[in-house]
Structure 1
């Protein structure tokens, strides 16, 4: 068996520039996301509408202070998502002494959307109503008739009530959407708990069956092999009995470990054989094997190491069952990103004894490779043998 170390080099040349470009690109992606673009567009439209409203109704000879206050009210809408109550207060002077009515209504609507029935909403509504009810300058307000006061009061209720109604409706819709999301998440959790319970019950049933049937039979095999090994007879028979007892004992230990995994529901219940035990596996498999291990990383992931061991173990077991007398070659090669395994055997040189086989071994290896993100394939060879190739990623 030949083994070489593997050195992994990490290029450092343009990585800093690449990372800077990646961060810059990620910032643009965050800024251009729909969740960010849509609110910004709505804010821009709100400011433009408020400015247009002031520009269309402002008289030619308006006092400068009223123009400045109205412009300030329109620009204050930019901060309505962060300081809604302060923005409402900022629009009051422009609405009272100027013409920023739409700006005040937009600010009040955002306040109602965010705060719902908070006291700030009612204070803002009272201020907006007062700005619409009171005429500026106050000298003009005192000259109005009682009918005009009543009409201004009713119109003020509409001006202050409509934004609040829309804001409450939007807030209620958002709360309902949040409740639906929470309900869906709760149903998902309940479904997951139910699935976990079903799987736990199935694991417990499988553990009982394996312990009551398989473990019992293997124990009897080990006991019978022990008796046969101590019975006087030919040395080959005693050696075979010892091998049977060793294999039965090891299988029983692994079966008990597997039963523990099934009962606990854990993904792993202790150490498993890895690539370091391949030499011992090859020596005890009773198959002529040429093992070559080349460029395997020193720090190999535990799952990949166990997968490599199980792949070679299953392949050598199949050679012993289905190709008696055939020699096998095992090649394990690391290329930096993956661990490649190839097991190839010749055609059988002895009569094949039919043994029970469900074909689940190779299927399990293929599933293991898929779960680890690797590949698995089997092909017959031209000389009547069989070849198995598997690849398991060793990074990420």
Structure 2
């Protein structure tokens, strides 16, 4: 904006000088002829019209050229005519007309030898053609500069599109590799679990094997959905699947209670719905790893603006016997699940807090209640 503010006074100054300087030249060079003085000043005043119509401005310069004092104004008009980038033959015609206007009085009223006539015609044609050629070259340079900028912009856009395509192809390749490698092993787990359920005579073993097979199939389906290889978005990772998630945790031995006062009552956007599911899923996974045997309460509440997810658990209640026989869950050293979950919630405009409470641990998430 400041560049425009600075260039506008400059353009005004150049326009004033383009009219004023030819007029001053006429006044300083006037040869006592009233006709030459008047036509020269008219030619200078006519330069005001050069932006609107350079041809009209040049026509007003023709009497001044005939009078001998219109050359300064004609230079400006011819330069502007060249900047207008008219057809080449039109430019040749206008330059010839200007030269003829200046030559006619000389050839009519003066008797010159052929050599002087040829020299005079050459000089006048050069004088009339030079500003036109200069104007045309400047206009061509400006047009080429604009074309180069557009070409550069198109090239940059093409390179950016190629880079995006390359990244997309690489992501697709990685997704296929993950699916083929991990999916193969998860499928084998499901097959082995099904075989164990079919061959074992122990009811508890069969039940556990069936549950493992179901979890393997669920993991495979979620992996395909996450990698974009599923035919459509899975409903099993939405807020409406939270009761099944809780029931599955209960069957695995987690003492969890669900209190849902919001998510089942409204149609959430897909992003918020999946984030709510992941919050509860991550909380139950952490309870199983870090607080086995603890009582867990999952609460989902909301108002007109926010959906609140709170997962509280008490102190772990793992028996000494389970520890002694080495059946305690492997708690690991802490992963990046909460960090990734926090980033997912933050990208949806929400917040995620996880901290110890008086009785155990609490995970609290607040998400905008954006309905689809």
TM-score (norm 2): 0.72
Cα pair 2:193 2:209 within 8 Å, conserved:
yes
1:197 corresponds in structure 2 to: 166
Q: 1:270 to 1:154 in 2, by over 3 A?
A: same
**Greater gyration radius:** 2
1:142 corresponds in structure 2 to: 108
Q: CA deviation at 1:175?
A: 1.2
CA distance in 2, matches of 1:130, 1:35: 43
Structure 1 residues 107-133: Cα deviation after superposition (integer angstroms, max 9, x where no partner): 5444434538744443444344445x3
2:92 corresponds in structure 1 to: 122
1:283 corresponds in structure 2 to: 247
1:217 corresponds in structure 2 to: 185
Cα pair 2:23 2:41 within 8 Å, conserved:
no
CA distance in 2, matches of 1:304, 1:118: 66
Q: 2:324 aligned with 1:363, yes or no?
A: no
Q: CA deviation at 1:173?
A: 4.9
Cα pair 1:342 1:388 within 8 Å, conserved:
yes
Q: CA deviation at 1:92?
A: 1.8
Q: 1:309 to 1:108 in 2, by over 3 A?
A: farther
CA distance in 1, matches of 2:278, 2:341: 8
1:303 corresponds in structure 2 to: 271
Cα pair 1:73 1:94 within 8 Å, conserved:
yes
Find the partner of 2:82 among 83, 89, 112: 112
Find the partner of 2:357 among 360, 371, 381: 381
Select the structure with the greater relative contact order (CA < 8 A; seq sep ≥ 6): 1
Structure 2: where are the runs of 5+ without partners?
A: none
Aligned residue for 1:391, secondary structure, equals strand
Find the partner of 2:233 among 248, 255, 271: 271
1:26 corresponds in structure 2 to: none
CA distance in 2, matches of 1:357, 1:111: 80
Structure 1: where are the runs of 5+ without partners?
A: 1-32, 80-86, 263-267
Q: CA deviation at 1:46?
A: 4.3
CA distance in 1, matches of 2:202, 2:73: 106
Query: What is the total number of aligned residue pairs between the two structures?
Result: 344
User: RMSD of the alignment, in Å?
Assistant: 4.1
2:212 corresponds in structure 1 to: 244
Instruction: Identify which range, 294-303 or 361-370, moves more after superposition.
Output: 294-303
Cα pair 2:280 2:298 within 8 Å, conserved:
no
TM-score (norm 1): 0.68
Q: 2:131 aligned with 1:162, yes or no?
A: yes
Q: CA deviation at 1:91?
A: 0.9
Q: CA deviation at 1:95?
A: 0.9
Q: 2:299 aligned with 1:323, yes or no?
A: no
